[in-house]
Amino acid sequence: MSKSKSADVLADPEIQRHTERVLALREEERQTRGKLGSIIAAIGAELIAAKEALDKTPDKTAWQRWLKDHVHYSAETAQNYMSVARFAQKNGSASVFFGLDPTVLYRLAALPDQIAATLTPDTLLTDPQTGQQVPLKDMSTRSLDRALDALEGKTPPENPKPPSGDVTLTGKTREDFAADALRIMARLSDQMPDIRGRKGSLTGDSRLNGDSHRRTLSGTGRRSASGRPTIKTARSLADPDPIGKRTPYNIRHFYPSLFTPINPHIHQC
């Protein structure tokens, strides 16, 4: 919208009134957010005092019951609030962080004192995953976690490799071979939404190899001197990936004869 058109819109008294109200509420939101950290710290200090008093009673569940029944906080929330209160007590400049998101406060409060004392909202931190330096106050929660973990000397957890779900065509008999193929089809069925979402098609060498195996299974491939398909040729279909790994494929499409009655002309083992 051009400036002239924007000015025309603001000339409407009703729109101007809404604009002023939104800007006023926005400023109130900013001020409230700035107070949120101090409110969390104050609540945390009260929780610490209450816990110390309740822990002295014979009832070992008094603290948990008091949290649940009277102040309606979970144990995790109470722990976060108390950690912020301790952070504020130990760090005289902790108030500079009170305008940040509470999740950032909780993470900072969990840091060792010597590391927390070196930080400010404008401290440049490096995300080890991206290598970018960003002011602490502008970092996302995940990026901040990685950067602070690096400051603490923690090594990122390795993502465990999922167990292999490969199914190969290794059946020694025609029935076992078909059973293997059916298991592969079941896996492909689960992955079809992802497969259909990929670009490309079966072309080039993959198509030629696929056609070759179709001809073999249909009885038009290599034949023995008697004119019948050889057992060696039929067994060569046990290759777990006959058309290469470039393209997913449909077993029924490339191995149609597996799902039809046995051809009496093919030699049996």
Same-domain pairing of 18 and 108: yes
Same-domain pairing of 144 and 188: no
Q: In the prediction, which pLDDT does 3 show?
A: 53
Same-domain pairing of 70 and 129: no
Dump pLDDT digits (tens) for 49-94: 999 999 999 998 999 999 999 999 999 999 999 999 999 998 888 8
How far, in whole angstroms, is CA 67 from its chain's centroid? 33
Structural domain includes residue 80: yes
What string of pLDDT tens digits covers the 269 residues of the chain?
Answer: 455 555 576 677 888 888 888 888 888 887 887 788 999 999 999 999 999 999 999 998 999 999 999 999 999 999 999 999 999 998 888 889 998 989 999 999 999 999 999 999 999 999 999 999 999 999 998 999 999 999 998 876 666 555 555 556 666 677 777 777 777 777 777 777 776 666 655 554 544 554 554 444 444 444 444 444 444 444 444 444 444 444 444 555 555 555 555 545 544 44
260 vs 178: CA distance, rounded Å: 10
Structural domain of residue 148, as residue ranges?
A: 122-156
Same-domain pairing of 235 and 146: no
Same-domain pairing of 45 and 24: yes
Structural domain includes residue 7: yes
Same-domain pairing of 226 and 128: no
Counting the structural domains of the chain, the total is: 3
Structural domain includes residue 106: yes
Q: Pick from 78, 146, 136, 126: which is nearest to 104 by CA? A: 136
Structural domain includes residue 163: no
Structural domain includes residue 246: yes
Structural domain includes residue 165: no
Same-domain pairing of 58 and 96: yes
216 vs 211: CA distance, rounded Å: 9
Given a contact cutoff of 8 angstroms between Cβ atoms, the answer to whether 48 and 82 are in contact is yes
Other Cβ atoms closer than 10 A to 103: 12
Same-domain pairing of 145 and 97: no
Q: In the prediction, which pLDDT does 136 show?
A: 94
Q: Is the dihedral of CA 194, 197, 202, 204 positive or negative?
A: negative
Same-domain pairing of 180 and 241: yes
Same-domain pairing of 14 and 82: yes
How far, in whole angstroms, is CA 149 from its chain's centroid? 19
Same-domain pairing of 107 and 128: no
140 vs 151: CA distance, rounded Å: 16
Structural domain includes residue 265: no
Structural domain includes residue 267: no
212 vs 177: CA distance, rounded Å: 18
Pull the structure tokens for residue 222. 């290599």
Same-domain pairing of 106 and 183: no
